[in-house]
């Protein structure tokens, strides 16, 4: 079975540029999560979706960040404009049950390592 697929694996860009991270959840999973991992702050939840609907975006750091899930098999996390402090590893995860999602294991992608120069 294919796991959670994230692209790109690595992204290096200059500050001010728009960055788009992509995620394909496991087929049949109806909850999707975006996390950011840094040395200083650890693993932070940015936003999550149930059945393509954003449920909680309180972790999104500021308006420069936006996330969409146009269908059950695809989600994007966009940063515009990007800043050096956005450099981190961004993970996408999915789980199979929306209503009680936290008692179903979240399956993680391999992450996107983002560097903003």
Partner 1 sequence: AQSVTQPDIHITVSEGASLELRCNYSYGATPYLFWYVQSPGQGLQLLLKYFSGDTLVQGIKGFEAEFKRSQSSFNLRKPSVHWSDAAEYFCAVGAKQAGTALIFGKGTTLSVSS
Distance CA 106, CA 98 (A): 11
Nearest partner of 69 among 103, 40, 31, judged by Cα: 31
Site membership for partner 1, residue 65 (CB under 8 A):
no
Rg (the chain; Cα; Å): 13
Beta strands at 74-79 and 19-24: parallel, antiparallel or unpaired: antiparallel
Site membership for partner 1, residue 50 (CB under 8 A):
yes
Nearer to partner 1, 15 or 99 (CB): 99
- Could you tell me if 74 and 5 are in contact, meaning their C-beta atoms sit under 8 angstroms apart? no
From the CB of 106, what's the least distance to partner 1, in Å? 7
Q: Which of 4, 23, 26, 116 binds partner 1 (CB under 8 A)?
A: 4
Phi–psi pair at 101, nearest 5 degrees: -60, -30
Nearer to partner 1, 16 or 54 (CB): 54
Binding flags for partner 1, 9-48, as an x/- string (CB under 8 A): ------------------------x--------xx-x--x
Residues that bind partner 1 (CB under 8 A): 4, 33, 42-43, 45, 48, 50, 55-56, 91, 93, 98-103, 105-111
């Amino acid at each position: 079975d294919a796991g959670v697929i994230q692209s790109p694996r690595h992204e290096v860009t200059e500050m001010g540029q728009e960055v788009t991270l992509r995620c394909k959840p496991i087929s049949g999973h109806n909850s999707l999560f975006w996390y950011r991992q840094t040395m200083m702050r650890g693993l932070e939840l940015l936003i999550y979706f149930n059945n393509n609907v954003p449920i909680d975006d309180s972790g999104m750091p500021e308006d420069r960040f936006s996330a969409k899930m146009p269908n059950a098999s695809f989600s994007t996390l966009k940063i515009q404009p990007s800043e050096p402090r956005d450099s981190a590893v961004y993970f996408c995860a999915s789980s199979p049950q929306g209503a009680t999602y936290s008692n179903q294991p979240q399956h993680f992608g391999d992450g996107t390592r983002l560097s903003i120069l």
